A and B are shown apart, each in its own frame.
Chain A
């Protein structure tokens, strides 16, 4: 199957009613998918993290506590909406919406199975990169609009993190794009006869870390560091607006898991099971790894956050990009399995050298 067929499949020829039915169907699918997956994500996170900390997690509401997200949602919807006197009312009201919309937009270009996506943009990856950072505007509006020093501090940390981590993240994606020769998500999945996690191990690692930092998952959850900033940017939010931010937090995690699945884990492709099921399974596995790191690693300081981005991830991403470019340019026709071995070796060396670079004086100077 070549890339041309994807453009044709973006709007199926035999689709009744043409474009608008397609739009309506996939809009509903995306919203339902995001909401259901967020509920699942909250359940997985609370149960999984509970078990990792030798607790049970929520197990009272419904069988195995499965209805806990529903109970949480009901509770938070019935809460009073409190707006501080000093708040910038319009900005405070608008922030949750602006934070949430981009997350839904990301799913517009994620293929659920072959050709099953809202629109197969030929610049899909660029669209994801552009849209995913809009959430930060919403978060910063929340921090500013609350009129609270903790909120503003948390929001500023978030902006700093996103600005720094956007660069290694995009560079890691470019490594994949060089191999694929296309920015379209459909074409990227199609090109992955070997999942790109093997062809681009360093790229995957960088993307995973940068994605975690960008959506502020632990260990990079500086912006809502509860021990320092009460709740960071959503300190002053309550009721439905808080629920929106809670939703954004998990929807972003699901979106990033879906992007990683699409770019690095060969998306919907897999044997035996139906493609959409493969996509969901892989998304959940990636999300579980995020939960796993959250349960394991302690929160980093802001200087450590910046140091990791600029001293380790950025050089490593440049090396990864350089090596990938040479491989594609010089040996365009040989089997990718050779690149798997080479790139894993490059990843190990880059991490090893990066370790030394990460500390002043190659780790020989005591700080």
Chain B
């Protein structure tokens, strides 16, 4: 005969919840405490390298939203394309990263930062030098493992919850 009592599971559950009171909350209080996001995160910016870009417009062809606008002129002296305008409407960008993957010269990166909300829709349209990499606009390691290696490791909430209290 098996003794299976109604309520044993309930008591176990109650024990679990009461023990959770003494554990460290896994919450991070966002504006003050920040977690490291994934090193390969596709943040909501596009970073463009003018030096590497050849103006081939592969990115514009790969873009499913059609938000990359590239205007080139021919430099007859160097026998090269010269990029006149490189304009991205990041408001329509879906951060799919297809342009970054498509670029044959590694001239495109997705951004690593994530707090890029704007007050006006027009501010999302970024042109030429606004798209350059800078300390305010770090590049993400997405599709670029060499950059990913330099970025800090992602913090996991489980590490925070099981961390010893100081």
Contact = CB atoms under 8 A, between A and B. Distances in A.
Interface of A: 48, 50-56, 292-293, 295-297, 312, 351-352, 354-355, 358, 363
A296 B13 CA distance: 6
Interface of A, secondary structure class, is: helix
B17 A351 contact: no
Given A55-B25, A351-B5, 4 more contacts: A51-B25, A52-B20, A54-B161, A355-B7
Nearest to B6: A355
B18 A54 contact: no
A52 B22 CA distance: 9
Interface centre among B5, B7, B17 (most CB of A within 10 A): B17
B29 interface: yes
Contact of B5 (A52, A55, A352): A352
B101 to A, nearest CB: 38
Contacts of A50: 25
B5 A54 contact: no
Interface of B: 3-7, 10, 13-14, 16-18, 20-21, 23-27, 29, 161
Contact of B17 (A56, A292, A355): A292
Nearest to B22: A51
A292 B29 CA distance: 24
29 contacts: A48-B21, A51-B21, A51-B25, A52-B17, A52-B18, A52-B21, A54-B23, A54-B24, A54-B26, A54-B27, A54-B161, A55-B26, A55-B27, A56-B25, A56-B27, A56-B29, A292-B17, A292-B18, A293-B14, A295-B17, A296-B13, A296-B14, A296-B17, A297-B10, A352-B3, A355-B4, A355-B5, A355-B6, A358-B6
Contacts of A312: 6
B155 to A, nearest CB: 16
A363 B20 contact: no
Contacts of A354: 6
A355 B18 CA distance: 25
Contacts of A53: 20
Given A51-B21, A54-B25, A296 B5 contact: no
Contacts of B16: 296
A166 to B, nearest CB: 22
Contacts of B7: 351, 355
B11 to A, nearest CB: 10
Contacts of A292: 14, 17-18
Contacts of B25: 50-51, 54-56
Contacts of B5: 351-352, 355
Contacts of A54: 20, 23-27, 161
A363 B14 contact: no
A296 B21 CA distance: 12
List 5 A-B pairs, minimum CB-CB distance, nearest first. A355-B6, A52-B17, A296-B17, A296-B13, A51-B21
Contacts of A297: 10, 13
A14 to B, nearest CB: 47
Nearest to A358: B6
